[in-house]
Amino acid sequence: MFGSGRAILSLRDGYRNDLRETKRITGFEYVRFHAIFHDEAGLYDEDKEGRAVYNYSYVDQIYDGLLQNHVRPFIELSFMPKKLTSDPNALHAFWYKQNVAPPKDWDKWSSSSRLSRAISSSATASTKSRNGILKFGTSPTSTSGPAIRKRRPTTSSTTAPRAPSNA
């Protein structure tokens, strides 16, 4: 596994060139990066009435770029989108100011399982088609895809709530 920075960086030509060269030299299979929910990835927004608006364009491009280079994503669900955060000032000290607060509305967060489905649909179908297995917290009672468990993060948590692992 290769650790990387923010997900959005993988859209850069230089990143993809380095990815190919590192893959050629080392043969690594997975990349782990963070900030797939960061506002810079453009996944989540809200309209004037506060309804969720999803844009999967960058997420699809991020995962497609990895899969086209025969690298599978090791998915980290982070950080909290600004329009979902309970504390807009709960910013980590890094320069890109990721928000580490829990959601302001747990019902909206859990009902927005489209966030996890966006990740799953972007990565899982293509990954499975390449004989990879992406374990991504699916609900044992549901066939509709990944589920986000409603739970309060511990005080030491530095990322958004994660989908439960069934590994």
Structure tokens at 18: 């380095």
For residue 66, the model assigns a pLDDT of 94
Over the range 135-153, which residues count as b (16 or more CB within 10 Å of their CB) and which as e? ebbbbeeeeebbbbeeeee
The per-residue pLDDT of the chain, averaged, comes to 73
| Among 21-35, 75-89, 103-117, the least confident range | 103-117
User: Are 115 and 97 a contacting pair, CB within 8 Å?
Assistant: no
- The larger pLDDT score, comparing residue 147 to residue 72, is at 72
User: Are 113 and 148 a contacting pair, CB within 8 Å?
Assistant: yes
The CATH fold assigned to 2-129 is: TIM Barrel (3.20.20)
- The larger pLDDT score, comparing residue 67 to residue 97, is at 67
User: Are 74 and 30 a contacting pair, CB within 8 Å?
Assistant: yes
| Structure confidence at residue 109 as a pLDDT band (50, 70, 90) | confident
For residue 158, the model assigns a pLDDT of 39
